[in-house]
Each structure stands twice: as C-alpha cells, then as structure tokens.
Structure 1
Amino acid sequence: MSFPFQSLHRFPDVEADNLHAYDATDRLLGARGLDLAQAWGLDGSDIAVIGDAYGAITLQLASAGLTGVRVHQDLATGRAALAANAAALGLDGSYVSCELDSSLLAGARLVLAQLPRGLAELEEMADAVARWAAPHAVLVSGGRIKHMTLAMNEVLRSRFADVRAGLAVQKSRLLTAAGPLPVPEDPPFPVCARDEDAGLTLCAHGGAFAGSRLDIGTRYLMGFLEQVPEGDTVDLGCGTGALAVAYALSHPSARVVATDRSAAAVRSARATVEANGLAARVVVEHDDAGGSLGEAAADVVLLNPPFHLGASVHAGAGLKLIAAAGRLLRPGGELWCVANSHLDYGAALRRSVGPTEVVGRNRKFTVTRSVRRPSRSAARP
C-alpha cells in the first residue's frame, strides 16, 4: 500500500500554495530506508532520521512497520507537525523524538537525512553520525539537485571513508556515506568568536543563521538598545542570542527570555549566554513564536524577523512573530523591530501591536518602535 503523502500538513508552520509538507527527496529517502531495512534485517530502533521537516520520512517507515525510529527535527513547528500528522494517520507513539546527540544516534546502523543547505550544518551532522552511531553505520542523505554542491561530498569525506552519489530521481539525489572515520576528541561545534565592536562573544552550532558572526540587521538594531526601556524582555526569534545578550549587558537589572523555533539556534544562544556570563538573567526556550510564554508577559520585545521559510521567500514567519509580540506585550510595552527596508511591516505592526514610528533607517534596514495599545476592555471606564 502506498504512503498517503497528500494527507500530510505543515501546520502549525505556515501553510501556503507554494509551501509543501513533503518533497521528492522525502519519498526517495523513505523508499531507500525501507529497502535497506529489509535487506539488512533492521528494525525501527536501528534507524535514525535527521531533518525530517514534517514527518514524511519517519511516517513512511512507521506505516511499513518500522516503529521506534529515532528522529531529530530542528524546528519546533516541524516537531508539532510530525506529531499531528502521526496522530492523523493513527501512528501515535511510533517514533522517538531526540536532539542531535547520542540519544539520537547511539547504536544506529542506518541514518537517513535531508541534506542541510549550509556546509557547517552538514559538518556537524556528519560528525555526530561518525561520533555516536554504530561503528559500521551508513548515512544516506539526500537533497534537491539544484541545492547540492560538490563541497557537500567533501564534507562527508571528512568523516566517512566512502562517499558515493546515486542517480538523479525526480530532480533529487542521494549521497551514501559509509565507513565512519575516527573523530576529534571534542565535537567541532559550537564555534565561539569575540566581537570587540559589539562587546560580546557569539557562539554558533552548524545550523545557526550567520554562524558566530553578527548579521548586519542585528548589528544595526543593537545601536538603538540604549534607547530601549528596561524591564521584562523577550527576544523573539533569538538566533544565536546576540540581541538578548547585548540588551542584558546594557540593562543590568533586566531579565530576558530568548526564544527560537530552531533547536540549533537555541543551543547556540544558550552557549552565547554562558560565554557572556549571563546565565542568571537570560533564559533560552525552544518554542514557536514565544508560545511557551503567557500573554502580557513582557515590557519589551526585540525582533529581527526572518523573511525566508526554508528556500522560499515568504513573509509569513515575520508576520507570525509580529502577531506574537502583540500577544506577549503588556499595555504600554514596546516592540523594537529591525527589518529589511523593502519589507513593509508597518500595517502589521500597527494592527498587531499599536502606534508605530520609524526610529532609524539606513540603506538596507529600518528600525521601528511600536507601543502596545491598551486592550479594549481595559480602556472602558
């Protein structure tokens, strides 16, 4: 019986006509995994899956009877979508969700992975498999050909003795890496670097945006932090934690919660917080748009919203975070946001938060300050 790919959904991630819950690589990886499991006599506990966006790979295996597969997904939204898709297919409890560590990979004989875009993320993944999986483990990774480069083969060869490319199938291709090589005593990530201009140390795991460098939008907003009031503060979409740490350093009485839907970002931000000696005042949470926080929990929200969802240019993630800021702010609280100047978030900021003013603009970015309006019920006499 064929697997019902069309029944899969992205929710609670953004749903749109040009955004899908599976692709040809998911189909290819799942089919290859089933073939190898049968040929090698594997059960689900022998298999690990990395980068399964919305569960298409994991649930293919589970629906064929390979239960107990361990899976790592970077995004909190992906984890929720996998759980929802599993429930809809009657496959609750058929897999085990893990972080990218030994709990995911210990003893795994077969690892199936969607190739990440960044070479640093691929390096961390390859190192983890070689470090923790079974001594003769095989890593089968795949991607869309248009996003694959020969450099990916070289990264895999740094951790595996044999790397081979398969034939193209529906514009996707698999790379099979076998023979894990000895690894350095210490994992290569996180990478930490001191930014003297910003006065802080940034740490980054492989999948974190901009790595251990400050992205230029964040650096621009940091120039306005002295104007931001002190109080209970949330850094939404915190990335490596630069804004949360910079704000905490410039506001010594403030307590900060930094949140991101990316597990790699959260691990990076926690390392950044530790490196800057702020563990007592800055907490980092892995959630979707501050969903773990209560309403009206913050006096200040800091935001540098993304304008991509995976490979697609899409404003949905930024709009979702702006709406979340409106929920999180107390009346009179302030949202300080930096965004690419060509993106017009003004209407969304006024609608979700309140009156909005431009406090800074350069050739690429605009910084705005929005003040949370009182609720209608609170405004009544």
Structure 2
Amino acid sequence: MRILDAKPVNLDGFSVTNPELGLVAMRSPHDPEPSLVVRDGRVVEMDGKAAADFDVIDEFIAYYGLDLDAAAEAMACPDVELARKTVDLNVPRAEVVRLVGGTTPAKLARVIALLTPVEMQMAMAKMRARRTPSNQAHVTNQLDDPMLIAADAASAVAYGFREVETTVPVLGDAPSNAVALLIGSQVGTPGAMAQCAIEEAMELRLGMRGLTSYAETISIYGTEQVFVDGDDTPFSKAILTSAYASRGLKMRVTSGGGAEVLMGAAEKCSILYLESRCVSLARALGSQGVQNGGIDGVGVVASVPDGMKELLAENLMVMMRDLESCAGNDNLISESDIRRSAHTLPVLLAGADFIFSGFGSIPRYDNAFALSNFNSDDMD
C-alpha cells in the first residue's frame, strides 16, 4: 500500500459530481433544454430563455452567432442523428458545418455528449480545419533572457513547431522577449508564427508594431458574471478581435472548461455547456480559432467523472463550428505519465489543428507559463 500511495497519480485531486457547484462534466440537471424561436428574422427565444431575459452572451450569440438559414433544420434534427452525421465518413464535413452553424449552445452540447471518446476521435479526423496537423511550442525562461529565447525559438522551429509563444515574469520585458522570439523563429526555417502572451492592451500594441504575428490570449467565458469580473463583455472582445484582423494578424480566442468553476460563477451548469457557449461566442466574434481543452482550468475538469472526455469534446466543438482548434495540452494535467498521455493521445491520433497549444520546448523549470503537459524533458 505504501508503494501505491507513492504513485504520481495520488498527487492528483479527484472530486465527486456536484451540479450545485458546477462540478459536472456534461449533462447537468440545470443545463437548459435546447430551443430556438425565430420571428421576422430575429431570435426571440434561445435555449429556453426569452429575448427579454438574455444575458450579454445570449444576446451576442443570438445576433451574430447563428446561421438562421440552417437553424430550423438543425434544431429539428434529432440529437442522435446529428451525432451520427458528425462521425459518418459518408457525410461531408461541409454538411456538418452547415448544420452545426444553426445549432444553439445547448443543442451542440447535447449532441457532443452522446459520442464516445473513440467516436470523437473519428469526428475530429474529419472535422479539423487544417489539412495537416501542426504544433505550437512555449519558449520562455525565468530570467527573460532575450538571447536564450532567440536560441530556444530557433531550436523549436528546427524541431518542427510552426507556432511559438512566449510570455514574461516581468511585464516590462515583453517587447524584448517578443523581438527575440520573432528573430529566433525565423532563423534556419523561416515562416513560423510568433506571439507574446501578456496583458491584452500591451499584446495588441506589440502586434500593431509588427513584433508579433499572431495573438491567442484573448479570454472569453461562459457566464456573464465572469465576464463582468474581468471588466469585459463580448462586445469589447469583438472590438479587440477586429483590431487584430485589421492589421492582418492571426487571432484566436482562449476559453477552456473549468474557468467558471474556478471563479465561482458556474451557475450550476455543466462544464461542457458553458464551453459550448464560449465556442459559439468565438464564432460570433469572428475569431479565426479557439485555444481550449481545459487550459488553466484543466485540473478542475480532469478531477470530475467524465472530465477527460469533456476535454476532448471541447476541441471537437471548435472544429464543428468551423474554427481552428488549438487543442490545449499546455497545462500540466497530472504528475502521472499515464494520465498525461491519456489526455494527449486521442488528440494526437485524431490530428488536431494544433496538437499542443504550448508544448514546453524548454526545460520544465524554465516554463514561465505554467508547467506544460509535456516539456523538453519529454522530447523523446
């Protein structure tokens, strides 16, 4: 027993399902029933809520995030039938994208929850936006040493990473880190994209000055209260998204199941339903893609029953909304090598657009984000 107690998996925390706290992976009894009523080209009811009762997320999705031409057909399609279309190799990707464009957040969450993990992998292989899967690396160091960042960026690109991301322990070092990453990423194998993940206003300024070529850390959430706590709204995020697009920078938003639970505003809803709202919102914002799959909240999601399945479901929802999926794996899910692999292997086999949204291409101790699910120690 002492040997078993010392196993790395026993350093993890596990939780029982508790819908009252939002600690439920999918199908909470408090999740709304899917519904959509359209009159004179306007949404007057969505997921059991009248337009007069919409919160700011509902309002934004209803106005900008639904394909009303496909909505009647999509919402009338039985959940099981739509789930089977997602997996069926005889149904073209474009047809699934068309139908899903007309689904509400509650409808899509219910459909995805019907799939087994193996079926999700089959669906991901068909639904990803990129023809060829790619990978992203974290390139940081605790000293904000620009020469080391440049050298590590050149190494990461040589290994095959097509996006590299840095951040800073000290905010004032952001410009020098961004320049070092940009220079290093073009040495030897030009064409990789680079970003500096920091506070949003400075990150935008770096992009406007041409010091980065894409952005990712534009956070969105599944409840209005968490948006309010962050002094944000979907409308402010839409303006930020447009600012990047106006300068030709690639831009995706970041969400991830578990964030609302961590912030105490899960509204008793399931993690999958709240993330479905985030992905619907990302589509409505005009974002090019989504970084999700738990991200900072991955430990919460992985602690509840069916949590590992929910993480895979998050990524699939992005692909079904016709967005590029940057599939997480950028936060340590467990000290157990088996659990870390269990989280990554389905995405690797199916082929996400970006299998990691931050493989730590540097040593674990120098990863200034958090510990990635895999770091250079795991490069084999």
TM-score (norm 2): 0.30
Q: Which has the higher helix share?
A: 2
Q: Which has the higher strand share?
A: 1
Q: Which has the larger radius of gyration?
A: 1
Higher relative CO (Cα under 8 Å, sequence separation at least 6) belongs to: 2
TM-score (norm 1): 0.30
